[in-house]
Amino acid sequence: LGAWSRRLLCNRNVELGSVYSVVKQARDDGYGVMALNPNSHWWVDGRATVTVPTKKDYKLIPGLGSPEEHVAYVLSNIVQNFASKEIFFIAHKYGAHALIQALYNQFDTYKDRVSAVAVIESTHTIDSFPTPEFKKWWSLNGAGYVHSEDTDKGKIEYKPYAGCNCVCAGSVEFDFTLVEKMPDIFRFFRSRNGRDNRFEAYRDRLQTLNEDDPTTVMVTFEDDNNAGSDAEEEVPSY
């Protein structure tokens, strides 16, 4: 299965350095699993590769000209045909941007079917997806997991650029955010099992605090208009 990073493979092991451990945990929790590799654009010698081919005998994989194109293709042609009304996503770095863009463009298809989205060290910015309806949906269903100092481990912060609450991993090495926070991600998912995923059912409802669900945590952040002051603004989760 696909590698998260070479450093994890070398410093830890194959299970933690690849999506193997994530797939195993998901299967143990009763989920069906689909793993995407949006970075492999070419088909060479009977397999996908992320390396630019040097051989003449290769093909560009249809629907995989870019990460955004690949994720959009899979969501519109495969995932939307699933019978499940409870869909969970885990996405990493630029893959998270590609996923959020696909969800934004296919919002009507997925707004009532997605239970939770966990993005790890995501490169997205919420300003790229300006629709207020989507921004609210994202803040209620998306959670970020980011590297941080050890002293901030477990702290939850609202990140304006991300448009959602983000959980600090307590590791300054961003590769290890995966290792540190994966158990928390699955607790987040379990807390959403069986939820009525119709957006209209919860969009205007005050959420009850759940320690396993980072979207329900009340957070504070400095008001940019009062930089240098002690003023802080509370951001409730609705």
Mean pLDDT value across residues 49-62 = 69
According to the per-residue pLDDT averaged within each range, which of 8-12, 64-68, 90-94, 179-183 is highest?
Answer: 90-94
Whole-prediction pTM: 0.82
Percent of the chain whose predicted confidence (pLDDT) is above 90: 53
Give the mean pLDDT of the chain.
Answer: 83
According to DSSP, residue 139 is labeled H
What is the token pair recorded at 202?
Answer: 């919860």
Using alpha carbons, list the distances in angstroms from residue 1 to 37, 50, 61: 9, 14, 18
Q: Which band of pLDDT confidence, cut at 50, 70 and 90, is reported for residue 176?
A: low
The pLDDT score that the predictor gives to residue 47 is 67
Place of tokens 């994720």: 71
Residue 236, pLDDT above cutoff 90: no
DSSP E strand stretches across 41-199: 42-44, 47-49, 58-60, 87-92, 114-120, 142-146, 156-159, 164-168
Residues in CB range of 76: below 8 A, 6 or more apart:
102, 106, 109
HSE value, Cβ hemisphere, 13 Å, CA-based, for 115: 21
User: What residues does each domain of the chain span?
Assistant: 38-65, 68-235
The pLDDT score that the predictor gives to residue 177 is 73
The pLDDT score that the predictor gives to residue 21 is 81
Q: Give the number of other CB atoms < 10 A from CB of residue 95.
A: 24
Residues in CB range of 10: below 8 A, 6 or more apart:
17
